[in-house]
Amino acid sequence: MRIHEIESIPESLNDKENDIGEVDMKEKSAYSVKNFTLDNFEIGRPLGKGKFGNVYLAREKQSKYIVALKVLFKSQLVKANVQHQLRREIEIQSHLRHPNILRLYNYFYDDARIYLVLEFAGKGELYKELQRCRRFDEKRSATFMAQIASALQYCHAKK
């Protein structure tokens, strides 16, 4: 089962009602509508921390699908006046389909937080790999640069 596609972005991030996402049941023709809540996920270890919240390893209970769940605090977003940037990020990232860009599968929110359901990068972050290796050889660097260039080219073509 693959969580997939966001249909609309709320004008106000303070709305109490969840927006609708779709769930792909492996066959492209079999879609069902799903309103997610935090209860739909088993939350695992923290993957990272940011200015506006944290990212956790999570599993969607019904499908057992592994995702990264980014939890953003509305109060922090409002304090920094970046709600519009988050709305735009959701709008853009939800439509990107490229092998070198992590997918935003869905999002939902409650009174205090916004949850982004993201593709889990099982091999971790490029920066952490660079720290571990200290240096990439030319072949590996060229591979990463080609992947980054491909992703950027795709984004610019999407405008």
Count of C-beta atoms within a 10 Å radius of residue 70 = 22
What confidence tier does 130 reach under pLDDT thresholds 50, 70, 90? very high
Number of H helices, E strands in the chain: 4, 8
Q: Is 51 annotated as a binding residue?
A: yes
The per-residue pLDDT for 34 is: 64
The per-residue pLDDT for 144 is: 95
pLDDT in tens, 83-128: 999 999 999 999 999 999 999 999 999 999 999 999 999 998 999 9
Question: CB–CB of 58/33 below 8 Å?
Answer: no
Instruction: With a cut of 50, say whether residue 12 has pLDDT above it.
Output: no
The average pLDDT across 43-60 equals 95
The average pLDDT across 136-145 equals 96
Measure CA 4 to chain center: 11
Alpha-carbon span 71 to 117, nearest angstrom: 9
Structure-token match 């409650």, residue found: 110
Mean of pLDDT over the chain: 82
What confidence tier does 158 reach under pLDDT thresholds 50, 70, 90? confident
Which position has the higher pLDDT, 138 or 20?
A: 138
Q: Is 142 annotated as a binding residue?
A: no
Determine phi and psi for 123, rounding to 5 degrees.
-90, 0
Instruction: With a cut of 70, say whether residue 55 has pLDDT above it.
Output: yes
The per-residue pLDDT for 152 is: 96
Share of the chain above pLDDT 70, in %: 79
Q: Is 119 annotated as a binding residue?
A: yes
Q: How far is CA 30 from each of CA 43, 105, 154, rounded to the nearest angstrom?
A: 27, 17, 28
List of residues 6+ apart from 55 with CB closer than 8 A: 46, 47, 48, 49, 68, 69, 70, 71, 118
104, amino acid identity: L
Q: Is 70 annotated as a binding residue?
A: yes
List of residues 6+ apart from 86 with CB closer than 8 A: 13, 72, 77, 114
Domains of the chain and CATH, by start:
2-122 (3.30.200.20), 123-159 (no CATH)
Q: Is 121 annotated as a binding residue?
A: yes
pLDDT in tens, 26-48: 332 233 336 899 999 999 999 99
pTM of the entire structure? 0.76
